[in-house]
Structure 1
Amino acid sequence: MSTTKTRRLDLRLTDKQDTLIRRAAEQEGRSVSEFTLSTVTMEAQRRLADQRVFILSEEDHARFEEILQTPLKDDPKLRKLLNRPSPFGTHIDLDDPRTPER
């Protein structure tokens, strides 16, 4: 993947938005471009990681299937983690009025 920046992204914003972004970038000691690009990239990655449907090329799909079919290696730390009691308990009563709504 090339790291040379060849693309531009132009945005229109209000004075208030401009001030807010500039102050946040200054607080982090970064340029407005660095701050904006890293923030937008992180949000894009977060949103894409949450998607439920993935479109893969045939090559990527074959690799994905290969990974799924590969037997798991024994990992004592993972086994210990999965065998410990849940910090959330073992039962959620959806009829309990104390259960937060989703």
Structure 2
Amino acid sequence: MANTARKAIDRTRGERLEARITADQKALIQRAAELEGRSVTDYVVSSVQDAAKRTVEAHDVMVLSAAESRAFVDALLNPSPVNARLRDSVRRYRAVTGG
């Protein structure tokens, strides 16, 4: 039951977001909201949330070409051997960080 109450609390709209816009922008947004049968607030929140999700996804997802994908898999399956320079770097890192 406590979990259900928490979900209900998390879904309440307690935060505010304000923006200064031109009269033309406001008229356009109001018209779009009316055409969809929604309030301006609902329309704006939904539109901004969709745009934010697309932006985050675009930055979270890496798209590789076929050649890049093959090179990546090859590097994972056939790693380069550890050389002296890498060993020295690890030794210095551990000395500095105590790790």
- Scaled by the length of structure 1, what TM-score is found? 0.50
Alignment RMSD (CA, Å): 1.4
Matches of 1:22 and 1:40, distance apart in 2: 15
Question: What is the 5 A alignment of 1:9-88?
Answer: 9-52=17-60
Shift of 1:48: 0.2
For 2:32, give the aligned amino acid: A
Shift of 1:17: 0.1
Q: Which runs of 5+ in 2 are unaligned?
A: 1-6, 62-99
Matched residue count: 53
Q: Which runs of at least 4 in structure 1 moved beyond 2 Å after TM superposition?
A: none
- Between structure 1 and structure 2, the one with the greater Rg is 2
Shift of 1:24: 0.1
- Scaled by the length of structure 2, what TM-score is found? 0.51
Shift of 1:52: 4.3
SS in 1 for 2:25: helix
Q: Percent identity?
A: 42
